[in-house]
C-alpha cells in the first residue's frame, strides 16, 4: 500500500506560524502527517477522523506524545461540540492514500471491489444508496459533484442494472474521461462531504482565539469554492447578512498557496491542491 505523503505540509507550517505551546485542531488526521508536524513544533493537538482505520497511527502518536495529543473518532462537524478554543484549525480535505489504495474500500476504479466508498465504516454504502436514490437524485449528484454531462444516461443505467462492484459501475460509463468524476461524485455524496465542510466552517470562527488561523487544503473546485466563499464572507469589511451567526469576528485573508512543480513530481496527489487561510483579528 502506498504511504500517505502529506500535501502542502511545508506551506501549512509556514502559514501556521509559531505554534510552540499553542492549541491546534487537526480536522482530518489521516495518517497523522500534519498532526506529527504540529506536535514536533511544540503544539498540543486535538484531531478528528471518521475512519477507524487510522487508529494504528493514532495509538503510535499517543504513545509518543501522551496528553499533548487528543483524538476524536468522529466526523469533524462534531467540532461544534468542543468547549476548547484553538490557535489554529486545519483541514486537509478529501481521502487519504490509504483509503484510495485499499481496494476493498471501493474508492478506486482500478481494482474490482464492492461499491462501498464510506470513509467511516458505518452508514449506507454507495451500493445501498443506489437502492434509495432516484434516477433524478443520481443525475443531480453526478452533475453537481462530478460535472458529468451525460448524467441522466449514467443515472438511468445505474438504476437499471444496480452495479454492485467498482468494475460493474465502470462498465456502465462509456467515456473513459467520465470514470474518475463519477467515482468522485458518488464518494462526495455518500460521505456528505460538502455539508460536513460547511457545518464545520460555520463553527470555526467561534472556536478560534484572537490571532488564530484557519487553514484549508482542498483538492477539487467544489470544496475550494466553499472555502473561498466562506473566507470572503469572514473577511468582508462591511459584513454580510449571510455570515455565520456564531461569530462577529473580523478576519484577514492569508496568501493562497499551491504545490511547487517539485512537490507535484514527488507526489502526484498534490497536483490539484490549493491551500487557503485566514487569521482572526479580534
Ligand atoms: C487527505 S487525508 C488527511 C491526511 C493528513 N493531513 C496527513 O498528513 O496524514 C483526509 C482524512 O480526512 C478524513 N476525513 C475526511 N472528511 C472527514 C470528515 N468530515 N470528518 C472526519 N474525518 C474526515 C478522511 O477519513 C482522511 O483520513
Residue 42 pLDDT class (50, 70, 90 cuts): very high
User: pLDDT per residue over 13-41, tens digit each?
Assistant: 999 999 999 999 999 999 999 999 999 99
105: Cβ below 6 Å to ligand 1?
no
Q: Locate the ligand 1 atom nearest the alpha carbon of residue 32 and give its number.
A: 9
Three-state helix/strand/coil letters over the chain:
CCCCCCCCHHHHHHHHCCCCCCEEEECCCCCCHHHHHHHHCCCEEEEECCCHHHHHHHHHHHHHHHHHEEEECCCHHHHHHCCCCEEEEEEECCCCHHHHCCHHHCCCCCCCCECCCCCCCCCCCHHHHHHHCCHHHHHHHHHHHHCCCCHHHHHHHHHHHCCCEHHHHHHCCCCHHHHHHHHHHHHHHHCCHHHHHHHHHHHHHHHEEEEEEEEEEECCHHHHHHHHHHHHHHHCCCCCCCCCCCCCCCEEEEEEECCCHHHHHHCHHHHHCEEEEEEECC
Average pLDDT, the chain: 93
By most ligand atoms within 8 Å of CB, the mutation choice from 56, 89, 96 for ligand 1 is 96
Q: Whose CA is nearest to atom 14 of ligand 1?
A: 28
Going from the Cα of 29 to the center of ligand 1, the distance in angstroms, rounded, reads 5
Determine the average pLDDT of the residues in 261-279.
Answer: 94
Confidence of residue 4 (pLDDT cuts 50, 70, 90): confident
pLDDT tens column, 161-178: 999 999 999 999 999 999
Shared domain check, 217 and 89: yes
Mutate to test the pocket of ligand 1, among 28, 53, 194 (most ligand atoms within 8 A of CB): 28
Considering the domain architecture, whether residues 37 and 88 belong to the same structural domain is answered as yes
Residues 186 and 212 in one domain: no
Judge if the beta carbon of residue 130 lies within 6 A of ligand 1: no
Q: How many domains does the chain have?
A: 2
CA of residue 76 to ligand 1 center, whole Å: 9
Domain of 16 in residue numbering reads as 9-98+193-280
Give yes or no for residue 144 having a pLDDT over 80. Answer: yes
273 lines ligand 1 (CB under 6 A): no
Domain end: 165, 190, 215, which one? Answer: 190
Among 133, 168, 190, the domain-final residue is: 190
Within-domain flag for 48: yes
pLDDT over 70, % of the chain: 95
For ligand 1, the distance from its centroid to the CA atom of residue 184, given in whole angstroms, is: 15
Per-residue pLDDT tens digits for 85-124: 999 999 999 999 999 999 999 999 999 999 999 999 889 9
Domain assignment present for residue 103? The answer is: no
CATH number at residue 58: 3.40.50.150
For position 245, what pLDDT does the model report?
42
**What percent of the chain is modeled with pLDDT above 90?**
89
Tell me, yes or no, whether 186 and 221 share the same domain. Answer: no
pLDDT in tens, 68-78: 999 999 999 99
For ligand 1, whether the C-beta of 181 sits within 6 Å is: no
> What does the pLDDT read at residue 63?
98
Question: pLDDT at position 182, please?
Answer: 97
6 lines ligand 1 (CB under 6 A): yes
pTM of the model: 0.94
Last residue of a domain, one of 174, 190, 206: 190
**Within a domain: 107:** no
Residue 241: its pLDDT value, please?
Answer: 46
Q: Is residue 75 part of a domain?
A: yes
CA of 207 to the centre of ligand 1 (A): 19
Same domain, 257 and 203: yes
Quickly state the pLDDT bin for 236 (edges 50, 70, 90).
Answer: confident
Residue 246 has pLDDT above 50, yes or no: no
**Ligand 1 in reach of 28 Cβ (< 6 A):** yes
Residue 247 is assigned to a structural domain of this protein: yes
Amino acid at each position: 500500500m502506498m504511504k500517505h505523503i502529506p500535501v502542502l505540509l511545508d506551506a501549512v507550517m509556514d502559514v501556521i506560524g509559531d505554534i510552540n505551546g499553542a492549541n491546534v485542531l487537526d480536522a482530518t488526521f489521516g495518517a497523522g502527517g500534519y498532526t506529527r508536524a504540529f506536535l514536533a513544533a511544540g503544539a498540543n493537538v486535538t484531531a478528528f477522523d471518521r475512519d477507524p482505520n487510522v487508529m494504528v497511527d493514532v495509538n503510535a502518536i499517543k504513545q509518543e506524545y501522551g496528553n499533548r495529543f487528543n483524538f476524536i473518532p468522529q466526523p469533524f462537524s462534531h467540532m461544534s461540540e468542543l468547549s476548547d478554543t484553538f490557535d489554529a484549525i486545519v483541514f486537509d480535505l478529501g481521502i487519504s492514500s490509504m483509503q484510495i489504495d485499499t481496494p476493498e474500500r471501493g474508492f478506486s476504479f482500478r481494482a474490482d471491489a464492492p461499491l462501498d466508498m464510506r470513509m467511516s465504516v458505518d452508514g449506507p454504502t454507495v451500493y445501498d444508496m443506489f437502492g434509495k436514490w432516484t434516477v433524478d437524485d443520481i443525475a443531480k449528484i453526478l452533475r453537481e459533484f462530478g460535472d458529468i454531462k451525460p448524467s441522466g444516461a449514467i443515472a438511468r443505467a445505474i438504476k437499471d442494472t444496480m452495479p454492485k462492484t467498482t468494475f460493474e459501475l465502470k462498465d456502465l460509463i462509456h467515456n473513459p474521461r467520465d470514470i474518475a468524476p463519477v467515482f468522485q461524485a458518488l464518494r462526495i455524496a455518500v460521505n456528505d462531504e460538502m455539508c460536513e465542510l460547511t457545518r464545520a466552517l460555520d463553527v470555526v470562527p467561534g472556536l478560534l482565539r484572537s490571532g488564530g488561523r484557519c487553514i484549508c487544503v482542498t483538492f477539487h473546485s467544489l470544496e475550494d469554492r466553499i472555502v473561498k466563499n466562506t473566507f470572503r464572507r469572514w473577511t468582508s469589511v462591511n459584513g454580510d447578512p449571510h455570515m455565520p451567526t456564531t461569530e462577529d469576528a473580523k478576519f484577514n485573508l492569508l496568501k493562497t498557496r499551491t504545490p511547487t512543480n517539485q512537490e507535484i513530481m514527488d507526489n502526484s496527489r498534490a497536483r490539484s491542491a490549493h491551500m487557503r487561510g485566514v487569521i482572526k483579528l479580534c
